[in-house]
Structure 1
Amino acid sequence: MKKFHIGGVPEHFNLPWYLTLRDKSYTKEGINLRWKDFFGGTGAMATALREKEIDLAVILTEGIIRDICNGSDCSIVQVFVASPLIWGIHVAKESNYHKISDLKGKTAAISRYGSGSHLMAFVNAENQGWDTGSDLKFEVIRNLDGALEALPKGDGDYFMWEKFTTKPYVDNGPFRSVGECPTPWPCFVIAVRNDILEDEPEAIQKILEIINNTTADFKEIPRIAHMIANRYDQKIEDVIEWLSLTEWSQENLSFAQVERIQQKLHHLDLIEQIVPPEKILYI
């Protein structure tokens, strides 16, 4: 049996993976696929791919494109979630910040440099017309749990994370939401180390086939909203809204999308050079 390790965030987007693993869909095809939760998000997964700790990752599009541009020996094999990720912009519940403009020049709490919370702080700053050189400061807090502890203590002024994941902490404290910042591109892709793609292309294709069969009909699964609400401690009305906004994909990024994302990253000085799309996508 062929063994692979895959990483992803422990969030509702990845429930299709849990379902296929629970049903032993990969085992039936002679594949031992082992899932690892990455609470530190994209930056932690990018490092794990580089260090060969994992073979595949369900990872933020902008994060892995930046890491590939910076030398990571991986390729994007497919879009996983085609819709934008809606980043909530959070402050401590008792803070004096009440709108996004209050955060100009303040310190963003980020999971790590190169993470989605880091990169999207630049996108938000540009959206607001801030100077990304002087109006952004950062405090590394590792993950969501780190932010829940840090912001009320004043270690960082605001924190960007997926809106629905953080919703319980907005409803019940210690966060307050001051706005949102959607990604201007499909939010999650599946990336695979190039040595794995060279050695085991058929097995990777089978993994994609299995997960795609599940995501194609994911919203039609009976009582899927209730399953998500229970598993991820969400209100059913929030899950229903999230499902209405979220679209999974069974296709890869287009060359035009890769070019556009790189142009944005380059404009924000997050990559030094733009590389040909065929160096990023598995063709």
Structure 2
Amino acid sequence: MKKVNIGGVPEHFNLAWYLTLKNGEYKAEGINLRWHDYYGGTGAMCKALRSEEIDIAVILTEGIIKDIIAGNPSKIVQTFVQSPLIWGIHVAHNSKFKTIEDIKGTRAAISRYGSGSHLMAYINAEQNDWNLDTDLKFEVIKNLDGAIEGLTNGNADYFMWEKFTTKPLVDNETFRRIDNCPSPWPCFVIAVREEFIKSNKDDLRTILNIINKTTSDFKSIPSIDRTIANRYNQKLEDVQEWLSLTEWSQDLIDKETIENVQKKLIKLDIIPRKANYSELTAII
């Protein structure tokens, strides 16, 4: 049986993978797909792809594009979630900061450099006409638990993370959300190590076919809203809102989207050059 390692964040976006694994759908096709949770997010998964710890990553679009250009020998093979990610901008519940203007020039908690929380801090700064050289400061906190500690203890001032994942922390008054910042493109893609693509194309096609069947019908799974609410400690109404806003994809990311992401990353001085579409993607 072929062993394949895949990584992703332990969030509701990836429940479809859990369901297909639980149902034994990959094993039925001779594939031992092993899921690995990455609490550190995109930066941690980029590192894991480079070190061959995982073969496949369900990863933020902007993060993997940046890392492929920086030398990560991987390719995007598909968009996974077509809709934008809604990043909540959070401060400690008792923080003196009330508005976006208040956090200008303060310390953003980021999981690591090159992570989504790092890159989206630039997007938020640009949208609010901040000076990218003087108004952005960073404190590395590794993961969500690190952000809780960092904001509570005053080691960092604000933290950007997916709105619905952090909603329980807003509800229990650990965080206070002062605004939202949607990503300007489809949020999650599936990236695969180039070496794995070359030697395991049939297995990769099988894996994609299985997950795509589930995401195509995901919203019509009976009581899926209650399943998500229970599994991820979410309020039912929050899950229902999230489902109404989220669209999965079964297609390769298009050239226009790749171009738009790179234009933005170039403008923000996050990448040194634009890559060709073929450098970043692979047709399976």
State the 1:164 CA deviation.
0.2
1:156-176: per-residue Cα shift (whole Å, max 9, x none)? 100000000000000102100
* 1:134 aligned residue: 134
Match of 2:163 in 1: 163
SS at match of 1:94: coil
In structure 2, the residue matched to 1:41 is 41
1:271 match: secondary structure: coil
Residue 22 of structure 1, CA deviation = 0.1
Q: 1:74 is matched by which residue type in structure 2?
A: S
- Residues 1:271 and 2:247 are matched in the alignment: no
Alpha-carbon distance in structure 1 between the residues aligned to 2:197 and 2:12: 27
Partner of 2:104: 104
Q: Deviation digits for residues 13-58 of structure 1, max 9, x if unmatched?
A: 0000000000000000000000000000000000000010000000
User: 2:88 aligns to what?
Assistant: 88
In the alignment, residue 151 of structure 2 is paired with which amino acid? L
Q: Which residue does 1:220 correspond to in 2? A: 220
Distance 1:33 1:220 in 2: 25
Trace 1:24-39 onto structure 2 (pairs within 5 A): 24-39=24-39
Q: Matched residues, percent identical?
A: 61
Structure 1 partner of 2:14: 14
Matches within 5 A, 1:167-182: 167-182=167-182
Map Cα deviations across residues 245-269 of structure 1 (whole Å, 9 max, x no partner).
0000000111111111011001100
Q: Deviations over 1:93-146 (max 9, x none)?
A: 111000111111010000000000000000000000001111000000000000
Q: CA deviation at 1:275?
A: 0.9
3-state SS, counterpart of residue 239 of structure 1: helix
Following TM superposition, the consecutive aligned residue runs of length 4 or more in structure 1 with deviations greater than 6 angstroms are: none
1:208 matched to which residue of 2? 208
TM-score (norm 1): 0.99
The AA in structure 2 aligned to 1:240 is Q
Matches of 2:215 and 2:72, distance apart in 1: 28
> In 1, Cα distance between the equivalents of 2:213 and 2:179?
35
Which amino acid letter does the alignment assign opposite residue 188 of structure 1?
A: F
d(CA) in 1 for partners of 2:197, 2:98: 48
Question: SS where residue 234 of structure 1 aligns?
Answer: coil
Aligned equivalents of 2:3, 2:267: Cα separation in 1: 40
Gaps of 5+ in 2: none
> Which amino acid in the other structure matches residue 150 of structure 1?
G
Tell me which residue corresponds to 1:186: 186
Q: CA offset at residue 77 of structure 1?
A: 0.3
SS of residue matched to 1:241: helix
* Residue identity in the other structure for 1:118: H
Match status 1:125 vs 2:131: no
Question: Which residue identity does 1:135 align to in structure 2?
Answer: D
**Counterpart-to-counterpart distance in 2, 1:190 and 1:180:** 25
Which one-letter code corresponds to 2:188 in the other structure? F
- CA deviations 1:219-274 (Å, max 9, x no partner) are 00000000000000000000000000000000011111111101100110000010
Question: Could you tell me which amino acid in structure 2 is paired with residue 83 of structure 1?
Answer: S
| 1-structure distance, mates of 2:54, 2:143 | 19
2:251 is matched with which residue?
251
Distance 2:41 2:254 in 1: 24
How many angstroms apart in 1 are the aligned matches of 2:184 and 2:262?
Answer: 12
The CA RMSD over aligned residues, in Å, is: 0.5
Q: Report the equivalent of 1:79.
A: 79
- 1:164-220 Cα shifts (integer Å, max 9, x gaps): 000000010210000000000000000000000000001001000000000000000
Q: Distance in 2 between matches of 1:257 and 1:95?
A: 37
Q: TM-score, normalised to structure 2's length?
A: 0.99
Q: What secondary structure, in the 3-state scheme, does the structure 1 residue paired with 2:206 have?
A: helix
Amino acid at match of 1:282: A
Per the alignment, in what secondary structure is the counterpart of residue 181 of structure 1? strand
- Code of the residue aligned with 1:198 in structure 2: it is K
Matched to 2:218, the amino acid is: F
